Structure 1
């Protein structure tokens, strides 16, 4: 008689593998994740079935973490102008807490392995932030700018990933936000 599934162990392993992948990227070899999780490759296969299934689970878990984190950042706050919220969100997204997500979802899913593991990601990653941005921009009377704001954020994130020039991309985002700030009459 075989062992019964142990979801609590699988959850623990998934969290450890996700932590490692966010810090170091998706590995080429399963042994890397096994070592990070304090287990063997054989046990990872036992709990997840295959390398690709585990990698998809890691990507999914990392994406849920990112959605929680960014969701909190992009949600409008009572009494705070939304451009201020966006500036704080940008600083967090590009800072130490946000960089692991940028690395994983910026580069990892553009390569062939990422496309194979999560083929619909580019579209999903573009559209899933629009409702939050729309609601936030509604607070300043500009909900129609959600696609434009998202495009600017994504473009500057690509620029930052390509150049590493935090100062220039931060300044560009600040200049952009000036145009979103309602003018006083």
Structure 2
């Protein structure tokens, strides 16, 4: 596998454009030719800047993860109580403008479970660790992280249901009911 060249302004620009493309089209069937055309480049330039298609996918997953981590940091910095913070997380997840990111997250999460050695490697496990760290801070740490895991399961379940049905009202009511029990 060729080494990835050092970061450059053009690489950063193309990563952002490719990320916007991936939010709409996903990563599963991504082909370099249509992607390159959409971002105003060529497959050859993308391969030069990212080293391989696998490394480009890894960079795109990293870009989506950066957005997720920014959300977690924002909630952490807000200093809200546990219930308010968890509901703030849900409200952000439920906003229609985040559907592309959430579909990308679901794709990366699922693929990392069935293709653990590809560019998806560690994506699901890293996501779980990131969210459990924040939820553990908000909810207080118990010996096994059971409350944080239960809240994360409620958020993830609501999120998958929301992505499948686009029923914000019902999924929000369900998440709020779960959070009231799990994070009083």
Greater RCO, CA 8 A, separation 6+: 2
Question: Which residues of structure 1 form unaligned runs of 5+?
Answer: none
Give the alignment of 1:109-148 within 5 angstroms: 109-111=109-111, 115=115, 116-138=118-140, 145-148=147-150
- Distance in 2 separating the partners of 1:180 and 1:45: 47
> Quick one: structure 1 residues 163 and 43, their matched pair in 2 at CA, closer, same or farther if it must change by over 3 Å?
same
Q: Which runs of 4+ in 1 moved over 3 A?
A: 111-114
- Distance in 2 separating the partners of 1:6 and 1:103: 27
Secondary structure of the residue aligned to 1:129 is helix
> Quick one: structure 1 residues 6 and 129, their matched pair in 2 at CA, closer, same or farther if it must change by over 3 Å?
closer
**What is the root-mean-square deviation of aligned Cα atoms in Å?**
2.7
**TM-score normalized by structure 1?**
0.80
Secondary structure of the residue aligned to 2:121 is coil
Q: CA offsets per residue over residues 65-98 of structure 1, 9 Å max, x none?
A: 221123323x2634x4321222121011121343
Larger Rg over CA atoms? 1
Query: Contact between 1:109 and 1:121, CA under 8 Å: does it hold in 2?
Result: yes
Query: How many residues in Structure 1 have an aligned counterpart in Structure 2?
Result: 174
Query: Contact between 2:147 and 2:182, CA under 8 Å: does it hold in 1?
Result: no
**TM-score normalized by structure 2?**
0.80
Aligned: 1:149 with 2:160: no
> Quick one: structure 1 residues 126 and 134, their matched pair in 2 at CA, closer, same or farther if it must change by over 3 Å?
same
> Quick one: structure 1 residues 71 and 32, their matched pair in 2 at CA, closer, same or farther if it must change by over 3 Å?
farther
